[in-house]
Amino acid sequence: AVALQSELGWRSLLPTLLARSCFAFQELEAIKAKVREMEKEDERLKELQLEAEKHFLMSSEAGLFPKTTEEKIEADQRSIYVGNVDYGGTAEELESHFNRCGQINRVTILCDKFSGHPKG
């Protein structure tokens, strides 16, 4: 009688155990899908990083970025600071405004490191 009662108790738990097992399997598959998605994103970011590094190297080789201390000093001597720039001003607008003064190699708009907004 005890063996029969034990067997009936096990059978009554079987649907619950199967449901939990099915849910765990679905949850595991969802986690695996998320990991695959993250791996694809990782590959995409690596490709973008490589492309950016190649672009930077080409710019550096083209002479847009100073390499030696002497080149840095010379670049600083050819650089100007412009203050009180409208907060809505863009690098393109500044470049077109100062273009008549000579060749513009780079325009940098300083931004607040916390808000990301231009300093003006």
Could you tell me the residue range of the domain that residue 97 belongs to?
A: 66-119
Looking from the CA of 112 toward its CB, the CA atoms found within 13 Å total 8
Written as tens digits, the pLDDT of the chain (120 aa) is 445 455 556 677 777 877 888 888 899 999 999 999 999 999 999 998 888 877 766 655 555 566 678 877 887 788 888 888 888 888 888 888 888 888 887 888 888 888 888 887
Gap between the Cα atoms of 61 and 27, Å rounded? 51
Structure tokens at 48: 């973008």
Count of structural domains within the chain: 2
Looking at the fold, whether 41 and 85 belong to one and the same domain comes out as no
* Domain end call among 45, 65, 85: 65
Looking at the fold, whether 23 and 76 belong to one and the same domain comes out as no
Looking from the CA of 83 toward its CB, the CA atoms found within 13 Å total 0
Looking at the fold, whether 85 and 52 belong to one and the same domain comes out as no
Contact criterion met (CB below 8 Å) for 27 and 19 = no
Q: Is this model's pTM higher than 0.75 or not?
A: no
Gap between the Cα atoms of 1 and 74, Å rounded? 98
What burial class does residue 89 get, using C-beta atoms within 10 Å of its C-beta: 0-12 exposed, 13-18 middle, 19+ buried? middle
Looking at the fold, whether 45 and 95 belong to one and the same domain comes out as no
Taking residue 111's Cβ as centre, other Cβ atoms within 10 Å add up to 11
Contact criterion met (CB below 8 Å) for 117 and 86 = no
